[in-house]
Amino acid sequence: MKKRLLQAAIAAALTVAFAVPAFANPFADVPAKHWAYDAVNKLAEAGVVEGYGDGTFKGDKTMTRYEMAQIVAKAMNKNLNADQQATVDQLSQEFASELNTLGVRVETLENKMEDMTKLSGDARVRYGDVQDGVSGLDYRARFGVDGKINDNIKFNARLTTGNINAKEDNSSTSIALDTANVGFHAIGLDNTIGRQDIFLGSGAIMDGTLNGIASQVGGLTVFAGNTKEDDRVYAAEYGTEILGTKLTADFLKNDTTDEKQYGANAEFGVGKNVSANVEYVKNDTTGADAKAYGIKLNKLGLSATYRDAEAGAFTSYSTLNEGLVDFDATGAIKGMEYQYDKDLDKNVNLNVKYQDFDNMAHRTAATVSVKF
C-alpha cells in the first residue's frame, strides 16, 4: 500500500507539473540526471512540496498518508488545467479522510491561537558616542500582553522600564505602563481607545505614545489625544501604493502650542534589492521645511540618507531626538546619515547609525535589540 501511495505521489508530481519552467535544484539529494528532477523542481517552485528542514527531498523515504494529503491540499489551491484537476480530484477522494482531519486540525488550531492571550516583549542595549568624548550606555526592557475579549473587542498592554542609564544609580527606576488600550470595530471603523503608539511617516513628524483614540478605515488613520507632555494633538495619516511606490501623507496639529506640520514620504525600488526613499516635512507655524533623500541596499542592510532641515522644521516628537546624547532636532540639520541593520540571529538585530551633520558633533550609536 505504501509503495502504491509513493507511486501515486510521483504520478501526481508529474501530472501536476504546473506550467512553470524548471529552476535551480532546491534539494541537495535530487541529482540533475534523476528522472524526476524536472517534476520535483516545478512542484517546489509552485509551492506544492517544500522538502525537509535540512534542504533535502528524501524521495526514497516512505510517504505517510498525511504527508500525501498535505501535497494534495496544496495542489487543490493551484490553478490547474482539466487533466491536472481530474488527477487532483481523484487524489482528494482517496485522501478525503486525511484532508478532512487536517482541515479540522488547522481550523481548530487557528481558533485556539486567535482566542489565546499572547505574551511578548523586547529588550534593547544601546551605546552612543560623539566627537567630544561624550558617550553613554543604556538599557530598556518592555513586556506586552495582547488578548481577545470577544469577536469584536481586543486589548493591549505594555510595561516598560524606560531608558536606564548604565552610569547612574537606577535603584529608584520604576516600571511604567507604556500602553494600555482596547480595540474594536464600529460603524465601519477599526478603533483603538487608550494609551497607544503613534508613528507618522518615517517618525520624522512623530514617534511616541498617545492617550486618546485612533480610527482607521482603508488606508486612512486619524488620531486625537494627549501626549506624555500633556499636549493636546490631532493627527492623520494616509498610506497607499501606486505602481510599486509606497506613498504616505501625514498631518499633525499641536492644539496646545497651535503648531501644525505636514509631511509626505515615497518609497520605491530602483533596481534589484535596492530601494529609495524621499521625504518632505513642512512646519506650517514656523514656515520651516525639511527634506530627506535616502537609498538602501536591502540585502546588505546598508542605507545612506541626506538630510536638509531648516531650524524649526521638526518638533520634540521626532524620531531624530531619540538618542543617548543631547541633541536638539529642532535646530538646522544638514548632512549625511548612514545606517547598518543586521539580523544576528532569529529575533536578534544589530543597528549601527552614524550621523555627520553640519554645526553639530558627529553621533554614532550601536543598538542590539531582541524580541521574545
pLDDT for the residue 350: 96
87 to each of 15, 16, 64, 79, 296, how far by Cα in Å?
Answer: 7, 8, 19, 13, 47
Q: What is the mean pLDDT of the chain?
A: 79
pLDDT for the residue 18: 46
pLDDT for the residue 68: 64
Choose between 251 and 208: higher pLDDT.
Answer: 251
* pLDDT above 80: residue 19: no
**pLDDT, average across residues 90-110:** 66
Structural domains in the chain plus CATH codes: 2-111 (no CATH), 118-371 (2.40.160.10)
Choose between 126 and 117: higher pLDDT.
Answer: 126
Chain segment 183-227, per-residue pLDDT in tens: 999 989 999 999 999 999 888 899 889 999 999 999 999 999 998
pLDDT for the residue 248: 95
b (16+ CB within 10 A) / e for 339-355 = bebeeeeeeebebbbbb
Choose between 284 and 93: higher pLDDT.
Answer: 284
The residue among 178, 185, 182, 236 whose CA lies nearest residue 210 is: 178
In this structure, of 73-77, 105-109, 237-241, the range with the lowest mean pLDDT score is: 105-109
| Inter-residue contact 182 to 152 (CB < 8 Å) | no
For every residue of 252-282, DSSP letters joined together read EEETTTTEEEEEEEEEEEEETTEEEEEEEEE
* pLDDT above 90: residue 9: no
* pLDDT above 80: residue 244: yes
The residue among 68, 61, 62, 66 whose CA lies nearest residue 43 is: 68
pLDDT for the residue 201: 80
In this structure, of 57-71, 79-93, 322-336, 348-362, the range with the lowest mean pLDDT score is: 57-71
* pLDDT above 50: residue 93: yes
pTM: 0.66
Contacts of 350 (CB under 8 A, 6+ apart): 340, 341, 342, 343, 344, 366, 367, 368
* pLDDT above 80: residue 105: no
* pLDDT above 90: residue 113: no
Q: Which of 146-150, 173-177, 192-196 tops mean pLDDT?
A: 192-196
pLDDT for the residue 36: 47
Contacts of 33 (CB under 8 A, 6+ apart): none
* pLDDT above 90: residue 4: no
Q: pLDDT exceeding 70 applies to what percent of the chain?
A: 67
Chain segment 262-316, per-residue pLDDT in tens: 999 999 999 888 999 999 999 998 899 999 999 999 989 999 999 999 988 888 7
Strands (E), 19-173: 118-130, 135-148, 153-160, 164-165
pLDDT for the residue 323: 64
pLDDT for the residue 30: 47
pLDDT for the residue 125: 93
